[in-house]
Amino acid sequence: MKIAIAHPSLNACGGAELLCISLMEALKVAGNEVVIFTVERTDWILLRKIYGDITHPNKEIYLLPSLPKIPSNILYSIFLLSLYTILLFILKLRGKCDLVISTCGEKIDSIADIVYFNSIPLRCVYSLSNISVKRKMYGKALNLFLRIIDFSGKNRLLLVNSKFNRDIIKKILGRKAQIVYPPVNLKKFHPINRRVKSENLVVVISRFLPEQNLDYVPVIAKLVPNSKFVMIGPCSTASKNTLRKINELSRKLGVRDRVKILVNQPFSKYLNALLAAKVLFRTQPYEPFSMAIVEAMAAGCVPVVPRCGG
């Protein structure tokens, strides 16, 4: 079969992007021709730096060479969402692929034949507690928009990454979904000769985005004076304000010497941090499934996560 996989951008280098790459590899191994469709051109050098050896598609098609730098996270999200919607419509209308798979159902759960959800759909966040008014308004607006175009994909197959996510989609959208857990290569994180974890090191694995609640890290570091914190994750233009706030708060609370930030690091740095740390700390609420948590557990870390999640 000729299969199209649509994803906004692989350059975000998060768990959703790793899932997309793993799906692409699985489909190619099964003998299919895979075409990847993205809003911006993929930086394959960056992906190899972050993930190591990865499989390339048979063909890559993108709308823009690169995304413009937009200082507002909301405006950036709306811009990316609009282009991704256009991309999916182009794929369906052209009809040159046997199957269209969207690996970013949390943004758009319509149009494609198969939709995979890596997190709670944005159109559902208005129903959650402890969510900012701005995000709730954005979620309600998106829900209204998607109701208009839902007709284009009533027969689509929905796949989710956890029972937690499946139950939310059933409750809010009234749709049934099947669980397909994301891929985690435990062997990479479980060495035979495990080192002794002597240092009180806490590792924070996350994208540097507002909804991750990373400003909690300096606050917690202030309360745990005998520990060091290392924050590791992908960084983009949308991360600028988040990084600035973390640095300012760390300086204000006097913990800058114990809170280290590492962005866009190679896989070896990520692995060494997990192998050295005693604790993995996650701050994002309502997380359906985190590949980083599973990887950290395999590396011998104790996960400390918000109770409201999967």
174 is written with which tokens?
């009234």
Report percent pLDDT > 70 for the chain.
97
CA distance 53 to 55: 7
Confidence of residue 238 (pLDDT cuts 50, 70, 90): confident
Q: Is it the case that residue 77 has pLDDT exceeding 70?
A: yes
Cβ neighbourhood burial of 78 (10 Å; 0-12, 13-18, 19+): middle
Q: What is the pLDDT of residues 243-286, one digit of tens each?
A: 999 999 999 999 999 999 999 888 889 999 999 999 999 999 88
Q: For residue 91, give Cα distances in angstroms to 71, 231, 237.
A: 30, 38, 28
Q: For residue 92, give Cα distances in angstroms to 96, 101, 143, 153, 296.
A: 8, 11, 21, 10, 39
Task: Return the pLDDT at 194.
Answer: 66
Chain mean pLDDT for the chain: 89
Confidence of residue 193 (pLDDT cuts 50, 70, 90): low
Q: What is the pLDDT of residues 128-173, one digit of tens each?
A: 877 778 778 878 888 888 877 775 556 689 999 999 999 999 998 8
Q: Give the pTM.
A: 0.89
Confidence of residue 188 (pLDDT cuts 50, 70, 90): confident
Between 193 and 106, the higher pLDDT residue: 106
